[in-house]
Structure 1
Amino acid sequence: MRKNVLIVGAGGVGHVVAHKCAMNNDVLGDICIASRTQQKCDAIIDSVLRKNHLQDPAKKLYSRAVNAMDVPAVIELIKDTKSEIVINVGQAYVNMSVLEACIETGAVYMDTAIHEDPDKVCEDPPWYANYEWKRKERCQDKQITAILGVGFDPGVVNAWCALAQKEYFDTIDTIDILDVNAGSHGKYFATNFDPEINFREFRKVWTWIDRKWVLQKVHSIKVDYEFPVVGTCSVYLTGHDELHSLSKNINANSIRFWMGFGEHYLNVFSVLTNLGLTSEKPVKIAAGVEIAPLKVLKALLPDPSSLAVDYTGKTCIGNFISGTKDNQPRQIFIYNTCDHAECYQEVESQAISYTAGVPAAAAAILVARGDWDVKQMVNVEELDPTPFIELLATMGLPTEVIEAPKPFVVPVIESLDSI
């Protein structure tokens, strides 16, 4: 049994992880929330206590300040808090430093997004091979459990792929991962998670088609799809983290990611980009000061965690999978819908953070129980999906599976480049 959890990061996802870990602290033990700004951690603790979510009041829930880029400081924090499970929900820039600290201390490592170098955007695929997978052998040698990308997408969608391969298909042709937020936050323009990371995604579209990497223009290929519950929404072919492990671990011809965007969002994003405000490259302003426009834009936009109180509507995230079963063609849609207002009522969060945070807490429980304490580095699709999906259903994220009556029709995609 593993016990005592260190949550690194105090943003919207960290807020949800803390709530769900506190609700299961009889299994997980003491919980420490750590961030560069300790005040943010304390605000999360106040929320947990306000909702009376501390399952076992005898266990500790407390905060610490830490610079997650400082490996020795993170090592010291893990040791001092006696944390055996580290859930990294800080910015994607800190992944490798937190992972290094876990390798050195023997703590379990998990995150919800792929590592990024601040100076590099949309590197050549597969992205996991550039950083995380280079540490696979060390994790194996030291028997370190490291679970990569255990949010929703990546995370739950990866588990659904594994479940499809395990139970629903003999052969898989195509997996289309569809992510739609049909909710409204009432702001003129905002992103649902860190805008700095969000906008860096929209530079190139690397997608997996016919078992090779294909490069496409951002927001250039659109499909209108009729989703359960939320209705017909437009989704655009987009690059995303999970493709970079699923292409290796799931036997499918094509795996693509699609994200929903409204016309207003795309128009504002286009203007911001054309003005250079989504650039991560520093520019000189008065008195020779250098600053990245993207950091200024992040400071101007609403904090994603502030959106929760007025958010209405639902999200729908699912995998449209086509292939064969018993020599017959088959296509299914495996999905979850989540309500923004219900998330706020439960944990004072919006559904985007909720869907990313709950799976990380569920994974921590599975590790603590021994189900997923695999003592090596893995992506979610390499683990048994059944206990994960079953646990998520009890924690607020039930999975639905339907036989899809209509195909997911995609226009012809001509490669700009391929690998």
Structure 2
Amino acid sequence: MKKNVLIIGAGGVAHVAAHKAAMNNDVLGDICIASRTQSKCDEIIESIQRKGHLKDPSKKLYSRQIDALDIPATVELIRETNSEIVINLGQAFLNMSILEACLETGVAYIDTAIHEDPDKVCENPPWYANYEWKRKDRCAEKGVTAILGAGFDPGVVNAYCALAVKRYFDKIETIDIIDVNAGSHGRYFATNFDPEINFREFIKVWTWIDRQWKEYPTHTVKRVYDLPVVGPSPIYLNGHDELHSLSQNIDAESIRFWMGFGDHYINVFTVLRTLGFLEHLPVKLADGQEVVPLKVVKALFPDPKTLAPNYTGKTCIGNFVKGIKDGKPRELLIYQVSDHKAAYEEVESQGISYTAGVPPVAAAMLIADGTWDTKTMVNVEELDPEPFIAILDRIGLPTEFKEIEPGSAESFDGTVRDLETEIAESTATVTVSAANPMIAVAPKPR
């Protein structure tokens, strides 16, 4: 049994996780929220108190300042707070520093995204092998539980893959993970989580097809799929964290990731990228000063947390699985729907942060009670998915299932055709008005 949680990070996802941890502090114990900027942690605590979410008032809820790249300082903080579970919700650049601190102190580690090197983007697969998995043997030697990618995607979708293997299929042929946000935040343009991480994610597409890695240009393979609740949505083949572990741990011919993008997003992204504003390495100005264009873009964009009050609409994230059960073809959509307004009413957050922030707390609860206290490093799909999904059902992310008639109009075909055909059918067209730029959110009639 483990108790006392240290949450590192104070962004939108940490905000949700802190609320959910406080709502379950009878299981998790004391909660410390730590970040480079302590005032942001205090704002989260004020939100928790405002909503009355501290279930057991005898348990502590407090903040600390930390530079999580400073391993000795993080070690000291873990010891000072008597934390036995660390939930890393800071930028992905921090992962290895925080994991090292957990290895030194022997405490459990949870994160929600793959590690990133500031000087590299979309690294060659399997990306986990470049950083996290190199420390797997040390976790086992020290008996340290490290659960990687325990957000929604990666995270819950990994558990859906494991559930498909365990309960619904004798043989899996393909898995298509589909993530659509059909909400509206009312801004001309904004990203739903850290803009720097968001844009770095879409520079290159690595996908797992026919049991091998294949690379495609960004936003060139497009489908329109009618998902539950959110309806017909344009989705694009993308690379994503979970593919890098699922390709190793799930026996399937192809595992692909698709994300919903409107024409307006494609337009803005393409312009920024073409002009060099998404460059992640420094450029030198005429006066000799160096700046990172992507960091400038991030500074100009709205903080994703500020989108929450006026956000409306829903998200739908799920796995479309095809395979064989009892000798017959089977197709199943395992999915989850969240509502932006409901997320704000509950925890003063928007739905994207909500879907990412709830799962690591469920994982922490399973470590706390021993169910997932693996004493080694694992990705979510290597664990029993049912206890995880059961907690998610109870604390805010209920899972739904939809049987699909194989080969019917509701079936999803993620087969990638020749690139010339795919590019021709993926072209985005938007209407832009200099007088009223908000008109750009409406695509031209086709």
TM-score range with shorter-chain normalisation? Answer: over 0.9
Distance (Å, rounded) in 2 between the aligned partners of 1:99 and 1:335 = 31
Distance (Å, rounded) in 2 between the aligned partners of 1:119 and 1:268 = 24
Instruction: Identify the residue that residue 31 of structure 1 maps to in structure 2.
Output: 31
Q: Note the alpha carbon deviations across 1:363-396, whole angstroms, 9 max, x for none.
A: 1111101110010000000000000001100011
Distance (Å, rounded) in 2 between the aligned partners of 1:217 and 1:34 = 38
CA shift, 1:404, in A, is 1.6
Distance (Å, rounded) in 2 between the aligned partners of 1:73 and 1:392 = 33
Give the 5 Å matches for 1:8-407: 8-405=8-405, 406-407=410-411
Query: Could you tell me which amino acid in structure 2 is paired with residue 88 of structure 1?
Result: N
CA shift, 1:411, in A, is 5.0
Distance (Å, rounded) in 2 between the aligned partners of 1:263 and 1:213 = 28
TM-score (norm 2): 0.92
CA RMSD of aligned residues (A): 1.0
TM-score (norm 1): 0.98
CA shift, 1:407, in A, is 1.9
SS at match of 2:253: strand
Judged with a 3 Å threshold, the aligned counterparts in structure 2 of structure 1 residues 412 and 27 are, in CA distance, closer, same or farther, namely closer
Distance (Å, rounded) in 2 between the aligned partners of 1:396 and 1:326 = 33
Instruction: Identify the residue that residue 412 of structure 2 maps to in structure 1.
Output: 408
Query: Could you tell me which amino acid in structure 2 is paired with residue 12 of structure 1?
Result: G
Q: Note the alpha carbon deviations across 1:26-49, whole angstroms, 9 max, x for none.
A: 111100000000010000000000
SS at match of 2:72: helix
Q: Note the alpha carbon deviations across 1:265-284, whole angstroms, 9 max, x for none.
A: 11111111111111111111
Deviates more, 1:286-295 or 1:348-357: 286-295
Distance (Å, rounded) in 1 between the aligned partners of 2:235 and 2:140 = 39
Asked if the contact 1:185/1:307 (under 8 Å) is kept, the reply is yes
Distance (Å, rounded) in 2 between the aligned partners of 1:286 and 1:27 = 56
Q: Note the alpha carbon deviations across 1:273-296, whole angstroms, 9 max, x for none.
A: 111111111111242110100000
Query: Could you tell me which amino acid in structure 2 is paired with residue 119 of structure 1?
Result: D
Query: Could you tell me which amino acid in structure 1 is paired with residue 169 of structure 2?
Result: F
Query: Could you tell me which amino acid in structure 2 is paired with residue 211 of structure 1?
Result: R
Asked if the contact 1:214/1:415 (under 8 Å) is kept, the reply is no
- In structure 1, the gaps of 5 or more residues are none
CA shift, 1:122, in A, is 1.0
Asked if the contact 2:185/2:311 (under 8 Å) is kept, the reply is yes
Query: Could you tell me which amino acid in structure 1 is paired with residue 327 of structure 2?
Result: N
Q: Note the alpha carbon deviations across 1:123-160, whole angstroms, 9 max, x for none.
A: 11000000000000000000000000000000000000
CA shift, 1:201, in A, is 1.0
Distance (Å, rounded) in 2 between the aligned partners of 1:351 and 1:5 = 23
Query: Could you tell me which amino acid in structure 2 is paired with residue 85 of structure 1?
Result: I
CA shift, 1:232, in A, is 0.4
Distance (Å, rounded) in 1 between the aligned partners of 2:226 and 2:416 = 20
Q: Note the alpha carbon deviations across 1:100-129, whole angstroms, 9 max, x for none.
A: 000000110000000000001111100000
Asked if the contact 2:176/2:414 (under 8 Å) is kept, the reply is no
Asked if the contact 1:221/1:411 (under 8 Å) is kept, the reply is no
CA shift, 1:412, in A, is 3.2
* 4+ runs deviating over 4 angstroms: none
Distance (Å, rounded) in 2 between the aligned partners of 1:411 and 1:329 = 17
CA shift, 1:61, in A, is 0.4
Distance (Å, rounded) in 2 between the aligned partners of 1:412 and 1:242 = 19
Query: Could you tell me which amino acid in structure 2 is paired with residue 382 of structure 1?
Result: E
Distance (Å, rounded) in 2 between the aligned partners of 1:325 and 1:289 = 62
SS at match of 1:48: helix
Distance (Å, rounded) in 1 between the aligned partners of 2:149 and 2:417 = 27
Distance (Å, rounded) in 2 between the aligned partners of 1:151 and 1:56 = 25
- In structure 2, the gaps of 5 or more residues are 421-446
Distance (Å, rounded) in 1 between the aligned partners of 2:69 and 2:234 = 38
Asked if the contact 1:314/1:351 (under 8 Å) is kept, the reply is yes
Distance (Å, rounded) in 2 between the aligned partners of 1:320 and 1:216 = 21
Identity %: 69
Judged with a 3 Å threshold, the aligned counterparts in structure 2 of structure 1 residues 413 and 74 are, in CA distance, closer, same or farther, namely farther
